[in-house]
Amino acid sequence: MKIVFEQKKRFDVRKYTLYSDKILVEIKTVRENERYELKLDKIGHNIHYQSDSMAVKKTAFYICFAVIPAIIWILHFMPPVQMDQGSAILGTAIFWAFALVILFRKHDDDIFLVDGQRSLVFFRTIPNEESVLNFINQVIETSRIYLKNKYGIIDINVPEDLFLSRINWLREEEIISEKEFYELKNGYIVQKFQS
């Protein structure tokens, strides 16, 4: 099994390749390239949303673009303490530059897969939120299957207390049901008794 999911936002690229036992993550930005593998037992199964407030960004943009330059030019034309024209032009240019920085600053709107040893970060709306959530759910489901196959197999060579703690953890993480927990527990006891 191999599923590839790629996201592009301006100059940033996030590429995820999901296998049955791991996920390969490749992140490319203007400043850095990062590539790493995560085993599926190292990722969390909880979704966390995080985004910047657009209201603050818009307010700061309008203040730097219109309000402060208007005040500067009012001060330029108001007697008795008139600001010279060169200072007014320079002040306006500086605040318009701040407005451009605010306008082109990258807006964070991400979904995190958290509570593992390392979090995975996805752009929330690229290509669209439904596709992103579908891929995240595939990652979670593949991880659950991997964990169930790794820790939920009856092996009488494993000490009983270790086996019980493993399947109890699987039950607490909702990877196996209560019924599956008791089936595995009873199956282990039966196999242990028969050997």
CB neighbours of 122 closer than 8 A, spacing ≥ 6?
7, 14, 16, 110, 111, 112, 113, 132, 135, 136
The per-residue pLDDT for range 54-76, each reduced to its tens digit, is 777 788 888 888 999 988 888 88
- If one counts every other C-beta atom within 10 angstroms of the C-beta of residue 22, the result is 18
Torsion angles phi and psi, residue 76, rounded to 5: -65, -40
- CB of 45 closer than 8 Å to CB of 62: no
- What Rg do the C-alpha atoms of the chain give, in angstroms? 28
Compute the C-alpha angle 123/127/128, nearest 5°: 85
The per-residue pLDDT for range 41-50, each reduced to its tens digit, is 999 999 998 8
Closest to 69 (Cα-Cα) out of 54, 83, 56, 55: 83
- CB of 135 closer than 8 Å to CB of 14: no
Token couple for 124: 């929330």
Q: Mean pLDDT of all residues in the chain?
A: 89
pLDDT of residue 56: 78
Q: Average the pLDDT over 171-195 and give the result.
A: 90
- Stretch among 56-60, 94-98, 174-178 having the lowest mean pLDDT: 56-60
CB neighbours of 4 closer than 8 A, spacing ≥ 6?
15, 16, 17, 18
Please tell me the class of the 1-49+111-150 domain.
mainly beta
Place of tokens 């108001």: 78
The distance of Cα 7 from the centroid of its chain, to the nearest Å, equals 12
Place of tokens 């196959």: 149
The distance of Cα 135 from the centroid of its chain, to the nearest Å, equals 12
Token couple for 118: 């390392």
